[in-house]
Amino acid sequence: MATLNSNQSINTRFSMAPNIRVRHIIPILLYAFVQFFPVLISKVRPEWITTTATGLWFAIGFSLTIVISFFLLWPDLKLYKQQGIQSNLNDTVKWIGLGILMQYGLVIVANLIETAITGEMVASENTERIADIVRLVPVMTLSVVLLGPIIEEILFRHILFGNLSARFGFWIAFGVSSVLFALIHDDNRFLVYVAMSFAFTVAYAKTRRLIVPIAIHAFNNALVMVALLLM
């Protein structure tokens, strides 16, 4: 069976297995429930929302969401294998490395652009919030470094980008999914998140293997957490 080589065009559109509405909507609803349920509870029972309880909620909730999501998305991933469009092991490892380099190169450019616009280099508010929580609740490290990247790549790269790519091609799909990816993080570094999203998206489009953008994303989060916690 042929394998997708690293010269494959990013414009090659995605295809999805049947019943995508049910299979793809459920992970989105689960993610939204896990993400926003603590907010709803805080309105009626604020005393229940402790840092520890919230950390455990996200760790357990995202773990279950990931398991259910992979079960629902398996027909798509199986289809890519049957079509012979997934990268082989060598290209998979290569694109993880290239994706990491691409991401940091683009982040540097995004930082330079933001600094030129604002006149100063500002820290990421979202990253600082997460670091504060991790210091108080170490179990949140699992969510930040591993669970978060997995569920976000499932939602933004496979479900959102993948479906939009099937209809509109790479650039429109990237534009919509990257803007939403940046907005969901509610951060002051919008352009940086768009830059990271481009690296994740290109790597996934090239390989059709979710492990690739997940690994790049997780590596970035792990490096950021280590740097912040050592400060």
pLDDT reported for residue 219: 96
pLDDT reported for residue 2: 46
Is residue 102 within 8 Å of residue 205, measured between CB atoms?
A: no
Q: pLDDT of 140-191, one tens digit each? A: 888 889 999 999 999 999 999 999 999 999 999 999 999 999 999 888 889 9
Could you list the mean pLDDT of each consecutive 10-residue stretch along the chain, which spans 231 residues?
59 87 94 91 84 84 96 93 88 96 96 87 77 79 91 97 94 97 88 96 95 97 84 71
pLDDT reported for residue 1: 43
DSSP assigned state of 10: T
Q: What is the DSSP string of 65-134?
A: HHHHHHHHHHHHHHHHHHHT-SB-HHHHHHHHHHHHHHHHHHHHHHHHHHHHHHSS----HHHHHHHHHH
